[in-house]
Amino acid sequence: MSTVSVLKLRSGGEIPQLGLGTWPMDNAQAAATVALAIREGYRLIDTAENYQNETGVGQGIRDAGITRSELFITTKFNRQWHSVAGVRQACLNSLQRLRLEYLDLLLIHWPNPQQGRYVEAYEGLLQLQKEGLVRAIGTSNFKPAHLQTLLQHDMVPELNQIHLDPYHPRTELLPLHHSLAMITAAWSPLGRAGKLLHDPVLLELAMCYDKTPAQIILRWHMQSGYVAIPKASDPMHLQQNLAIFDFTLSERDMQLLSMLGRPDPDMLDSEVFGH
């Protein structure tokens, strides 16, 4: 079983660098996949209110039979809860669906700047952290302007979960993460619609290292210092995604991958999209 590397959170805990994404699994799929993934060695499980599978994720956690303290569970809440009291209710709702006593990480799923209440939402997160219902707090899909607004209120998320892969290197955002000692987590770390997995550079590197293109991409995330949460349900893919800690990409090959960025007109824009 591979040993997954960890990153230190500002609040003192540790988050595994590799986890399991659960979108778009339904409750039944989530229950089966989460249990299998935990047995394979996964310890970070990522879900969200909007995925509508927290009940299944919780069932998978119980079925796996692993001590709760060994797991790192992340969820996220929707825009209707963007207030101090609302965030507390969202947290309690998620805990009830998951049947857990606390969350390791709770995130504002989207900033929804047109609603203008994500600062209140972050205040709610700080209160939950003080109460002990949540160990670590952060944001998802926040752009530099949204983070700067939080900074004006002396609020610094511990982690920002964003769309990130070699095609989407997010160079406009990562320097700010680094300057604030924020952890960067990647959703869809293997790219979307499979295009990245068939890139000629990836195919060549996979052949050179005797790994799959997905393993090369995930290794790039690990060496870049990111958290990656690929979605997988096939037992072979679950195992392959974990098997990335026995090789190292050269500096040259890391640079090759980091130079694959390109414009994407279909990329979701958190200035206008959010739930």
Distance CA 43, CA 68 (A): 10
Enumerate domains of the chain plus CATH numbers: 13-258 (3.20.20.100)
Q: Which residue has the tokens 């969202």?
A: 90
Specify the DSSP element, H or E, that contains 29: helix 27-40
DSSP string computed for 124-187? HHHHHHHHTSEEEEEEES--HHHHHHHHTTT---SEEEEE-BTTB--TTTHHHHHHTTPEEEEE
Three-class SS state of 8: strand
- Once rounded to an integer, what is the mean pLDDT over residues 48-72? 98
Per-residue pLDDT at 98 exceeds 70? yes
The token pair that represents 228 in the structure block:
């990656």
Per-residue pLDDT at 1 exceeds 70? no
Query: Are β-strands 6-8 and 14-16 bridged in parallel, bridged antiparallel, or unpaired?
Result: antiparallel
pLDDT digits (tens, 9 = 90+) for 183-196: 999 999 999 878 99
Question: What percentage of the chain carries pLDDT values higher than 70?
Answer: 99
What amino acid positions are annotated as catalytic residues?
51
Instruction: Classify the phi-psi angles of 225: left when phi > 0, otherwise alpha if psi is within -120 to 50, otherwise beta.
Output: left
pLDDT digits (tens, 9 = 90+) for 153-212: 999 999 999 999 999 999 999 999 999 999 999 999 999 878 999 999 999 999 999 999
